[in-house]
Each structure stands twice: as structure tokens, then as C-alpha cells.
Amino acid sequence: MSIATPTAEASHDGEHHAHVEDKLALLKKIHTFSTDHKVIGVQFLITTMLMLLVGGALALGVRWQLAFPWESMPFFGSLFAQQGGQISPEFYTMLFTMHATVMIFLVIIPILAGAFGNFLIPLMIGADDMAFPLLNALSYWFMWPAIACFGASFFFGGGPAAGWTSYPVLSAVQEAAPGSGMAQTMWLLAVTFVGVSSMMGSVNYMTTIINMRAPGMTLFRMPLTIWAMFITAILQAFALPVLTAAGFMLLFERTLGFTFFVPGGLVINNADPTTGGGQPLLWQHLFWFYSHPAVYIMILPAMGMVSDMLACMSRKPIFGYKPMVYSMAAIAGLGFIVWGHHMFISGMNPALGMTFMVSTMMIALPSAVKVFNWIGTMWGGRLQFNTVLLNAVAFVSMFIVGGLSGIFMAAVPVDIYIHDTYFIVAHFHYVLFGATLFGVFGAIHFWFPKMFGRTMSETVGKWHFFLTFIGFNGTFFPMHLLGVAGMPRRYADPYLHPYLEHLLPMNQFMTICAILMGFAQLLLLGNFLISIFVGKECSDNPWHANGLEWSAPSPPPHGNFPSVPVVYRGPYEYSDPAQPEGLDYWPQTEPPPAPA
Amino acid sequence: MKRFWCTFFVFWPIMAVILCWVAPAQNWWFPRGASGTGAAMSPLGERIDDLFYMILIITAVTFVGTQIGLGYVLFTGARRSDAPHGAEDAEKTWFTHGSHNLEVMWSVVPAAVLLFIALYQMEVWAEFRVKDSFPDEVRTGPIAEVTARQFEWRIRYPGLDANGNPLELMPDPQPTDLYTVNELHVTSAEPVMIWLRSEDVQHSFFLPELRVKQDAVPGLVIPVWFEATKSTDYSWLCAELCGWGHYKMKGRFVAEPEEDLREWMQELQNEQMDDGVPDDVGDSQVAD
């Protein structure tokens, strides 16, 4: 029974559901205030996929300027025709600020925790819904005020332009930048809204996972996806309040005249000197105390999902299940004491640099353990080379690069040189795009059949993967070299500096790759949307996977399971020789054979 | 098609290694600038580069090793899936939940390597930033104060005494101080220190060829020391986002022998103290 391509046969569980499911049941409710976790998951998924296109378009603006500085931008240039279609330096700072903001707050965090967290948690633990369905619905709908505020911010002075890190003084004083007026206020409000949204999700996930597991679903029988979502929820619960507090402090400083971050006596852009006695480094500490754990919020769920995909597509149990769980816990724990590595040259006490260097080096360890265990999972397996596996392997391969380049910047002396250069940009794109987004692409193909009862096109999926992978590496690998060559980030025109002039052709090559990668995403979106209606119909368990979600109908009805499922084993018992029917999978709900 | 994808995944790390290998010859490596070779132009910079290369070797070995491992499991995994599960000739899947020994090995070895890297870096960092470890030459005080503002560098030197020797730089501006904009002259081949400040937002003092970078933070005065080995012009730019003109915040950084620096400062002093009255007129008035 090979599963190289999903089969249309009835699920192994035999229960061919008499009631014909409406395959569009979830889609039909996406405009409603539904409290069904699956509808909310699909709402999050479609919203974030659209936001991915917005964030991508902003990135292409950045890439255009770096490849063809000050030249009129084709197509998009008509949007700012009064500037002759040219990207002004003010507009350029807005572009990279909003690219990062959209990608982090409106794509990666909500697509992982919001879309897949919502859709998968109750299904994978055998619950009928989340613990707090109303709170869950609110967590989605709170995204919209955030999207509205981010969107509105573009119309005030050209949009916020202090970077996604919004360091004061630049972000705190209106005169400091064209985007530091109302646009920055809108940005802070939007971040507060996404924070509220995340927090409502986080509380819900923790409660659901702790309290609502099906009988037999012990903690160490939970899929790694659930462990990852659980740990992510804990990270959010502890880190987010700090960002929210910092955001409010900055908001009060900007609007009510409080002083937290801006020292007195600064003359900014010929305005009156500032008064008060704030400290700009305070923001950096508060911001990174959230945003470093947030980096793990942006990768852990993908790690969990990739683990599930790799085990299923290798037809093998996870190699070292418990070390995988402990590694994620270690990443989460250490994640709280490494924030200072963003601030090595910020002017903070240099002794802190040493302690943060040691903790940062140590956080590479659980990541390494996970990589070895993923390779171990595939080792000796019967690999099913479908789109899911390709994206999951890309996750591992790209994560290796992103993890190793992290060691360079964890080393403080080396970081003196590469800090704020393109080396950093290369590093976090390898982790956030190369790892997380490939993981997400795999997850979309893997769980799509559960959402819509059909599969996505394998051919289009593979073309999407092929083009994205090539475009990705062509865009981001050379960034390591730009970084070593000393090209700083956030420069509208690096070629103004003679020692960077010769890097223009390389930047042009990267931009062409980025455009290729951007267009490839249309394949994903098209494949997703068209397959909802005309994809090949499939059984409830097309991948012959073990998880509880595959024992529910596709799409699962309200309440998910016909009866409360009982769990007899862990989720990774693939190719177990003890399987009584000689199958290479053994669903968690299948009772063990009666003793002879 | 399976083999195609295996090759695909093996192909790209090979490309990555080749690209890094040819990068220095293609001038895609450390900025050549003043050195012509890309070598760091300061003793501390050379040690930073050594640390960079040490990490590069360790990570390159790890990268190649893990990618070979990945390639191996992909190819053998593809072979195993040639025959369907349960077929007579099917190669068995390795049914295992892991290996305690392997877990211990691949936890302890990377832990030791990472700890070694961290401890090995401490000294250079301390020398760059911890005041007690600064070289003796710079303990006498800064040669200039560099104040960043949108989007330029303002430099304040102490004035010269009657013998042409620099006075001590005071924390607050003095009437005798000398000023330049976007032009910093320092002595070459000896450690020198500046005070770094900001007048408005954060900036960062970045000398790529010397491998020096330090943020300028409003409200703080941060001592930064460096040693330019060669007498020449170096690139000098801002590395922390400071507003729309961040990219054009560049200055002229000149390292030169002590006597040339003195001469330049003397000229600067003559220029700035010039009251517009010709010298000979002043002399004759004195004579009167």
C-alpha cells in the first residue's frame, strides 16, 4: 500500500461515513462569526496567505531599489506616479519597515498559531472544539483592527519608517522621520491588536491542550505539532505582556507626554530640544525580551508540523521523540535569556555581552539535536517523494544554514563586524522563510485534504516548490556574501559608498531571483483556491497517517468526531512489525489486538 | 523523479560551497578597500577575522556533514520506496524509536564545541569593549569626540597649545576646541580612542575595513578605540537606521602619521582662529 500519491480509497478505519460531507462546509462560513475552530483556522489561513502577497510585494519594492536604484518601478510605480514612479528614500524606509511588520505580525505568527494551531489542536488531541470557542473567534476578528491600522498607517506621512523594531528616539519623536507622526501611532495600535489576538489564542491553546485531550492521549502520546503549539502558547503568554507594556509606554510617550525612552536635550531635525530623562536602551531590552522568544514562536510550530510530516512521509516513527520534546522545551526556556544578542553593540554593559553570548551559543544545541533527529527520522525510511516531503526536507536543509549562520552572530567579536549587515538579513530569512515558510507550504499540502476533502495538485505543488526553492536560494544565499563584504542593511543606495559599488550586479541577480520567487507564490495560491473546488476527491485518511485528525471525516463536522475517540498509542507508529494487518501505519484510535 | 529530487537536494549545498570558495577571488568577500586583499586593517580586526574563519571552518564541516547525511538518507529512502510496502522484494523500513547513545553523542559534542567557541571569543570582546582591557595607549584620553546627527558626523578636537601639542579633550566644549564635519583624522599604527555621542537618534559608527562598529546612543558617551595599521583613507558610515538619509551618512576617515596629523590640526586651528585680519597687520599693531 504505497502512498506516493494520495489515494481515493476509503480510509483504513473502514467507517465510510454514510452522510456525504459538504466539502465546502468550512469555506461557506468564512465570512461569519463562527466559533468553530476549523472555520477560524481556515479564516486565518486564507487571510494570512493574502497578507503573504502584500508582504511579498513590499519586499519586491525593496529589491527593486537595491537592483535598480532610483529607477522608475514598473507596474507598481503607477501607485506613486507623483514621484515619477521612483522609490524615494523615505518610501524605501517605509517599504522595509512594513515588509517586516506584515510578514511577522500578519503572516508568520498568525499562519502558524492562528491557522494551523486552531485547525489542528482540537482535531489532533481528540477534542470537539477549543476550550473557549468565543474567545477563539475573537482572536481572529481582532486581526482586522490590526490590519486596518497597519493599512491606515500607509496614509500618514507615507507610513511608519523606523524599522519593524521601532527603536526610539527615531520612533518616539515626531520630527525624527516623516513616518514618525500619526503613522507610528497607528503602527503601535496595530501591534497592540495583534498582541491581543495572539494572547487570546495562547490562553485558549494552553487550556485546551491541558484539559481537553481524549481518553488515552497522555502528554507523551501527543503529536509533536501539539507539543510545539503548547510550548509556543506558553512563550506567548509570558513574553507578549512585555511587548504590550513597551508599546503602551511608547504610545504614552508619543501622545501624553510621558518620558520613558527619550533623553532630554536632543535637538532633532531643528525642533525644540527634548525634555525629560528617558533611556533609549530600555526599549531595546523590552522589545527584544518579547521579540526574541517571538523568533521561536515563529519557528517552533513549523518544527512540530515538519516532524509530523517527515514521520508520515518516511513511514517511520520519529527518531528520539522525547529528545524532540525536551529540545523544544529547552529552546523555549533558553529563549528567554538570549535577547541581549540583538544588542551586543547597542552600548549596553559589555559584560552582558559575554553572558548573552554563552546563552546564545547554548540555544544552538537543542536546535542541532532536532536537526539530527529529523535526519534520523528519515534514515532507513521509505520516503514518499510528494510535495509534502519536499517542503519538509527543504525546511531541514534550510534550517541547517540558518542555524549555522546564527553561530557567527552569536559570537560577539564577529558580530561587531556583521551586525546590521546583510549577513543578518540572510540569517533570519533562512530561518523564517527557508525553514518556517517551507514548513508551512508542506503543512498546507498535508492538511488541505482534511479541510476540504480534496487534495491539491501534485504537479503544480512540485513546480511551486521547485521555483520557490531556486528563487529563495538565489535571493538569500548571496546575502551572506554581501554581509561579509560589509553591506549594511536598510540602505536605500549602498552604491554611494565606493567599497560597495561592485556589488550591484549581484544585487540585480538576487532581485531577479526574488521576482521569480514572488511569481511562484501565485502557483501556490492558485493551486490552493482551485483545488478547493476541483481537486481530486480523497478519503478521510489520504496519507495513511496515524494522527487523530485523520480518523475524523473530511472536513470534520461541527464537533469533529462522531464519538469521543480513544487513544491507544503514540502518533508515530509507522511500519511497526507488530501491526496485526501488516499495514505500515497504525492509527492512534485502532484498538490493540486482543491477546490470544 | 525521486532521484531527481535527491540530486536536487544534494546539488544546492555543493553550489553553496563552491560559491563561498570562489567568493574571495570574485571580490565578494571582505571589503578590499585600503588593504587591497580584504585583510582587516587593524590588529583587533585581524583577530576578529581569525575568529570568523574559525567559526567558518567549524560550520562548514557541520554543513557538509549534515548535508551528506541528508543526501544519504534521501537516496536510500528513495530506494526503499521503489517496491510497495509488503511486497516480497521490498526492503524493510528500519523500525526504531531512536537511539539513546546517538542522542547523548550528538548533544555532548555540539555542546562542547559551542561552549569552546563562546569562551574562545571572550578575550577579543573584552579588549574591544571592557575599559579595563583597553590598551594602555588609549587610557590617557580620547583624541576627539564624534557626535552623530541626522545625517552627518560632527567631530570636536581639543585645540593645540603654543607648542603645537594637543590639549586635553574636556567633556564639555571649550573655546579652544576645533571642529570638523564628516572628516575624522587619527594617527595611524597606534591605538586611539574617541568619545561617541549622538545628538538626536541612534546611529552607529562603522569602519568596515577596521571591523569596528559601535552604536551611538543619545544620552550616552561611549568610548570607542581602534588602530588603523596603514596611513590612508578608509570607509566610514552609519550602520543603525537613523531616518530616511541613513544610507548617505558617510564620512572621510583618514589615518596618517603623527606629524601629518599635527600639521593638519595646526591648519585647522589657523583656519578656525582666523579673525580675518592679515598676519602682517597684526604684527605691526603689536610692534606699535
Per-residue pLDDT, A106: 97
List, in sequence order, every residue forming a beta bridge with B180; answer none if it has no partner. B155
- Do B159 and B246 sit in the same domain of this protein? yes
Answer left, alpha or beta for residue B33, where phi above 0 means left and psi between -120 and 50 means alpha: left
Q: Classify residue B116: in a domain, yes or no.
A: no
Domain stops at, among B46, B69, B84: B84
- A469 contact residues in B (CB cutoff 8 A): 8, 12
Residue A538, in any domain of the structure: yes
Contacts of B220 in chain A (CB under 8 A): 347
At B212, the pLDDT band (50, 70, 90 cuts) reads: very high
Q: Is B1 in contact with B63 (CB distance < 8 Å)?
A: no
Going by the DSSP 8-state scheme, the letter that residue A164 receives in this structure is: T
Among all residues of chain A, which has the CA nearest to that of B119?
A: A358
Question: What pLDDT does A21 receive?
Answer: 58
Q: Are residues B145 and B76 in the same domain?
A: no
Q: Is residue B121 part of a domain?
A: no
Task: Identify the pLDDT of residue A15.
Answer: 44
Q: What is the pLDDT of residue B283?
A: 54
Q: What is the pLDDT of residues B91-147, one digit of tens each?
A: 888 999 999 999 999 999 999 999 999 999 999 999 999 999 999 999 889 999 999
CATH of the domain at A135: 1.20.210.10
Contact A206, A234 (CB under 8 A): yes
Q: How many CB atoms lie within 10 A of CB A15?
A: 12
Quick check: is B98 in a domain?
no
At residue B282 the predicted structure's pLDDT band, cuts being 50, 70 and 90, is low
Domains identified in chain B, total number: 2
Please tell me if residue A161 touches chain B, with a CB cutoff of 8 Å. Answer: yes
Dump pLDDT digits (tens) for A294-330: 999 999 999 999 999 999 999 999 999 999 999 999 9
B163 lies in the same domain as B50: no
- Give the domain range for residue B271: 136-275
Task: Mark the ranges of chain A whose per-residue pLDDT is less than 70.
Answer: 1-21, 81, 596
The dihedral region occupied by A536, where left means phi > 0, alpha psi between -120 and 50, and beta the remainder, is beta
Number of CB atoms found within 10 A of residue A580's CB: 11
In this predicted complex, what is the ipTM? Answer: 0.94
Look up cell 551586525; give the residue.
A419
Longest Cα pair distance anywhere in chain A, in angstroms? Answer: 89
Please say whether the beta carbons of A543 and A441 come within 8 A: no
Q: What span, in angstroms and rounded, lies between the C-alpha atoms of A64 and A87?
A: 9
What is the pLDDT at residue B94? 92
Shortest CA distance from B69: residue in chain A: A375
Q: Is B173 an 8 Å CB contact of chain A? A: no
**pLDDT value for B284:** 52
| Residue A540 contacts residue A553 (beta carbons within 8 Å) | yes
**What pLDDT shows up at residue A76?**
78
- Enclosing domain of residue A338: 37-78+85-262+282-551
Report yes or no on A519 lying in a domain: yes
Task: Let me know if residue B264 belongs to a domain.
Answer: yes
Does residue A562 belong to any structural domain of this protein? no
> Tell me, what's the pLDDT at B287?
46
Asked whether A122 and A37 are in contact (CB, 8 A), the reply is yes
Residue A554: burial class (beta carbons within 10 Å; 0-12, 13-18, 19+): buried
Q: Which of A321, A361, A507 to mutate to test binding with chain B, by most B CBs within 10 Å of its CB?
A: A361
- Output Rg (C-alpha) for chain A, integer angstroms: 24
Whole-angstrom distance, CA of residue A263 vs CA of residue B248: 25
Comparing alpha-carbon positions, the chain B residue that sits nearest to A476 is B16
CA end-to-end span of chain A: 27
**Residue B151 near chain A (CB below 8 Å):** no
Helix (H, G, I), strand (E, B) or coil at A260: coil
C-alpha closest to that of B27 among A306, A71, A503: A503
Same domain, B140 and B64: no
Q: Which alpha helices (DSSP H) does A162-223 contain, by range?
A: 182-211
Strand partners, A289: none
Q: Are A478 and B19 inside 8 Å of each other by CB? A: yes
Residue B282 lies in a domain: no
Position B281 in a domain: no
Residue B11: pLDDT band (50, 70, 90) is very high
Q: Is residue B94 part of a domain?
A: no
> Per the structure, how many domains does chain A have?
1
Distance from C-alpha of B264 to C-alpha of B185, rounded to nearest angstrom: 8
- Say whether residue B41 is in contact with chain A using an 8 A CB cutoff: no
Per-residue pLDDT for B165 more than 60?
Answer: yes
For residue A554, give Cα distances in angstroms to A26, A126, A455, A530, A566. 10, 15, 11, 17, 19
Measure CB to CB from residue B213 to each of A362, A396, A417 and give the nearest one: A417
The CATH number linked to B174 is 2.60.40.420
Q: Is residue A49 part of a domain?
A: yes
- For residues B75 and B170, membership in a common domain is answered with no
Q: What pLDDT, on a 0 to 100 scale, did the predictor assign at position A85?
A: 84
- For B72-85, what is the mean pLDDT? 92
pLDDT band at B281 (very low <50, low <70, confident <90, very high): low
Helix (H) or strand (E) holding B187: strand B183-187
Of B84, B119, B146, the residue that ends a domain is B84
**Residue among B1, B103, B244 whose CB faces A323 most closely:** B103
Is B21 inside a domain boundary?
A: yes
Task: Residue A486: name the closest of A434, A427, A416 by CA.
Answer: A416
What pLDDT does B33 receive?
80
Name the grid cell of A501.
559599488
Q: What is the rounded average pLDDT for all residues in chain B?
A: 93
In 3-state terms, what secondary structure has residue B216? strand
Determine, yes or no, domain membership for A528: yes
C-alpha cell at A512: 531577479
Q: Assess whether B61 and B190 both reside in one domain.
A: no
> Do the Cβ atoms of A490 and B246 come within 8 Å?
yes
Helices (H), A379-495: 387-410, 412-418, 422-429, 438-452, 458-484
Beta bridge partners of B203: B216
Domain assignment present for residue A23? The answer is no
Least confident of A505-514, B159-168, B205-214: B159-168
